[in-house]
Amino acid sequence: MLFGKPVTALHCVGVGGMGLGPLAIYLVGRGFSVSGEDDAMTTAMRDELISAGVTLTATGALPEATQLVVCSSAIVSSHPAALAAKARGLSLVRRGELLAEATRDRRLVAICGSHGKTSTTAMLITALRAAGFPAGYVLGGLFNDDAVPPAVAGANDWVVAEIDESDGTIGNFSPEITVAVNLDWDHPDHYRQQSDLENAFGVLFARTKKTVLINEACSLLAKAAPNRKRLSFGLSGDYQADLVSDRAGAIELALGGRFPAGRATVRAMGEFNAANATTALATAHLMGVSGSFENLLAAYPGVRRRQAVLHTTKELTVIEDYAHHPAEIRALLGSLRKRTDRRLVVVFQPHRFSRTAQFKAEFASALALGDAVYLIDVYGAGEAPLAGGTTADVHAELQRIAPGLPVVYRQGDNDGLLRALAQGRRAGDFVAFVGAGDIDVMAREWLELMPTKRDWVKSAETLQSAVSAATKIKCEESLAKKTTIGIGGAARIYAEPAGVGDLQALVKAAKSLDLPVIMLGRGSNLLVPDEGVDALVVSLRQPAWESFEPRADGCVWAGAGLRLKNLCGLAAKVGFVGFEFLEGIPGNIGGALRMNAGAMGGWMFDVVEEVQVMTFDGEIRIFKKSEMHVDYRHCAELHEAIALGALLRPASRAEAGEVAARMEVCKEKRQKSQPREPSAGCIFKNPPDDSAGRLIDASGLKGERVGDAEVSATHANFIVNQGCASAADVIALVRRVRARVNEAQGVQLEPEVILYGKNWKDVL
């Protein structure tokens, strides 16, 4: 039943939008037959709708079985579908009206406010899923993780939904819990005065059955919310959370007030996301979630178009964000100011002529936080142009209040504006594309044309021309599957040289191009950042590097690309004793030399006689062991050169079967003491006269988790990937472990695992 009628089939006009699309998916989950149409469907939303079972039709093609038509707020009365519905005598309702009706038989948690609704709703959904609380939900956007749908029907009587005040349908809802994240005057096309918007929220609060949860820092909400139902969140609210850390893609919150005591990790950045997370966790508690809140948001995947990082290198970082109200823009740019010391370039597309006319001065004030501003023509969203509400008016305001600020505007020529943005770019710029229209598409198109993209491709072509066809060179090659922990972004350029000659040509060409070169072994003992590596990554994985050559003097020559496991197997066959301790280390000879790899009481340089290296100038040299500076997890010479191979001396000779038996003992010992899940090996160095694993275990950290990164229950000095961990998860967990061990044991642990292409000191 909907609106008192036995409706089973609905048609959604504007189903590609972030308001109506998720609602259509929710309705399918509730058992309705749903069809829909949209002239501007994105691929991502199309995939979600089809996967959920929504039937997509051509414009105006209402299926014969349709009993009710619902339109997004952008659909005008002259739309073909609206005319077809009228001709067939079908009722036509707005998205907000249908959402209110479809959730009337559930305990509704209504998330409302002027900005931050979608992120807060997404965080609440994430927290509920992590807690195993099977509520239904309707999100006003798409998660970054495609595995999480934007709406589900749920398996209990709760439903979480984002309530939009823009069209006045906010008064149709009677929630169990209303959550108001903030309140700023907006939508002047519908609310002519600020008091009109305040009254609309007041009506919603009055209709709320149980609790109104408000931002304690917002005086307008405090005035509108009835005291008998009101609880608050914030630094001094009923639910308190203090931002204690905001680094490397994760926030740490100290919880107080009505929260269970403890901390919470949130995979997000910025003070406003800390506020969103506080709101979400407080709401989860009000809904009945109990126990520890520490990891409920540790795997928060984020929402598309909310601080989406499109590109990040030392030369250029580009993000895109949906902010379209002056308060949102001010919060975003203020947060970016704190996170980077780069030149902040803002590309802004106003949304709606009515909003621009009302807030042009406020927009200008917020945009003035940038170091340079590029203005795009207003995205009308169905509105007719309005005098005083154009981008030219924002431009004039910026020139008035910030006369020294570089501002670029090309009226009617957005392509020309983007060309000017490319021409004006400086090395190191942080570029933020901001707005709720189609600026996200412009951002991606602009980035594809940027010289930084073409430079890597051109460099790769230059490198390929310097080597034989047998050498493999690729751009943007993912490194995650080339590591033992299975985490990380891409190498801007990746190469597998076919032999010594090609490696020599490769490093010389890289030097001429001023490209940094980083070696990659078998991917153990390192963590690749999520954003990848701005370098030429070289891996000796071709057969020419895997040589094993016994010598007449009893030694053996081993190529740098030979796996340690294969070294041990080949040594056993010829009766060489002394390499058994290397059997379980998931690396190759080159990596083991660079790190002086060790296990079971043995060290790589215990069996080394000499090492052949190539400098990054292409010079080949041989070092005797006595000439090299080697200590714990370190070989100084190989930080400035590439190991080509080594002459190794066995401890003794024995029958092959005896050597194999010794290897089996080492293997069994390792399997019993170390985790089987993907890891990078021991994460911390052992402090003098102690064990990092013992210190971590004694601090009660086994099983500690951030996202899918977990301190192993088998060996506490391993962080394992339980499925979909990110580098940001691991870094956040490393910080947490170091802090807890320092607090409990008085020892500051130092990472042993390499942060590939970066320095730990920059993120700890």
Does one domain contain both 333 and 406? Answer: yes
Does one domain contain both 259 and 117? Answer: yes
Query: Is 669 within a domain?
Result: no
Of 64-78, 239-253, 343-357, 577-591, which one has max mean pLDDT?
Answer: 343-357
Predicted confidence at residue 184, as pLDDT, reads 65
Question: For the residues 385-408, what does the mean pLDDT come to?
Answer: 90
Q: How many domains does the chain have?
A: 6
- For the chain, what percent of residues have pLDDT higher than 90? 36
Question: For the residues 484-493, what does the mean pLDDT come to?
Answer: 92
Phi-psi region of 137 (alpha: psi -120 to 50; beta: other; left: phi over 0): beta
Does one domain contain both 107 and 255? Answer: yes
Predicted confidence at residue 220, as pLDDT, reads 72
Local confidence band at 236 (pLDDT 50, 70, 90 cut-offs):
confident
Predicted confidence at residue 126, as pLDDT, reads 94
Does one domain contain both 139 and 263? Answer: yes
CATH number at residue 486: 3.30.43.10
Local confidence band at 602 (pLDDT 50, 70, 90 cut-offs):
confident
Among residues 249, 274, 301, the one where a domain terminates is: 301
Among 144-153, 224-233, 477-486, whose mean pLDDT is lowest?
224-233
Q: Is the pLDDT of residue 94 over 80?
A: yes
Predicted confidence at residue 166, as pLDDT, reads 59
Q: Is the pLDDT of residue 190 over 60?
A: no
Predicted confidence at residue 128, as pLDDT, reads 95
Does one domain contain both 274 and 169? Answer: yes
CATH number at residue 379: 3.90.190.20
Predicted confidence at residue 242, as pLDDT, reads 87
Query: Is 672 within a domain?
Result: no
Predicted confidence at residue 294, as pLDDT, reads 87
221, 203 in Cβ contact below 8 A?
A: no
Among residues 382, 417, 449, the one where a domain terminates is: 449
Does one domain contain both 295 and 337? Answer: no
Q: Is the pLDDT of residue 20 over 70?
A: yes
Predicted confidence at residue 195, as pLDDT, reads 63
- Give the Cα separation of 128 and 19 in Å (integer): 21
Rounded to the nearest integer, the mean pLDDT of the chain is: 86
Question: For the residues 127-131, what does the mean pLDDT come to?
Answer: 93
Angle at 446 between CA 148 and CA 40, to 5 degrees: 50
Count the alpha carbons within 13 Å of 494 in the hemisphere toward its beta carbon.
17
Question: For the residues 586-590, what does the mean pLDDT come to?
Answer: 82
Note the pLDDT tens digit of each residue in 685-702: 999 889 999 999 999 999
Sign (positive or negative) of CA dihedral 111, 115, 120, 122: positive
Query: Is 137 within a domain?
Result: yes
Note the pLDDT tens digit of each residue in 618-632: 889 998 988 878 776
Note the pLDDT tens digit of each residue in 650-665: 878 777 677 677 777 7
Among 27-31, 91-95, 583-587, whose mean pLDDT is lowest?
583-587
Q: Is the pLDDT of residue 188 over 60?
A: no
Q: Is the pLDDT of residue 469 over 90?
A: yes
Does one domain contain both 445 and 457? Answer: no
Query: Is 494 within a domain?
Result: yes
Predicted confidence at residue 361, as pLDDT, reads 92
Does one domain contain both 423 and 282? Answer: no
**DSSP element (H, E) containing 266:** strand 262-266
Of 278-282, 310-314, 569-573, which one has max mean pLDDT?
Answer: 278-282
Among residues 632, 662, 692, the one where a domain terminates is: 662
CATH number at residue 159: 3.40.1190.10
Q: Range of 330's domain?
A: 308-449
Query: Is 556 within a domain?
Result: yes
Does one domain contain both 109 and 232? Answer: yes
Number of Cβ within a 10 Å radius of residue 286: 19
* Residue that is written with structure tokens 């003035």 in the block: 368
Q: How far is CA 227 from the centre of its chain?
A: 39
Task: Return all residues near 661 (Cβ < 8 A) that are at least 6 apart.
Answer: none
- Give the Cα separation of 677 and 692 in Å (integer): 19
Does one domain contain both 472 and 323? Answer: no
Predicted confidence at residue 502, as pLDDT, reads 95
Q: Is the pLDDT of residue 762 over 60?
A: yes
Query: Is 61 within a domain?
Result: yes
Does one domain contain both 136 and 267? Answer: yes
- Between residues 7 and 193, which one has the greater pLDDT? 7
Q: Is the pLDDT of residue 191 over 70?
A: no
CATH number at residue 8: 3.40.50.720
Does one domain contain both 27 and 89? Answer: yes
Q: Is the pLDDT of residue 160 over 90?
A: yes
Query: Is 671 within a domain?
Result: no
Pick from 319, 297, 296: nearest CA to 308: 319
- Give the Cα separation of 544 and 499 in Å (integer): 6
Q: Is the pLDDT of residue 742 over 60?
A: yes
Predicted confidence at residue 185, as pLDDT, reads 57
Of 75-84, 199-208, 715-724, which one has max mean pLDDT?
Answer: 715-724
Query: Is 668 within a domain?
Result: no
Q: Is the pLDDT of residue 747 over 80?
A: yes
Count the alpha carbons within 13 Å of 605 in the hemisphere toward its beta carbon.
20
- Give the Cα separation of 530 and 537 in Å (integer): 15
Predicted confidence at residue 744, as pLDDT, reads 92
- Give the Cα separation of 59 and 572 in Å (integer): 72
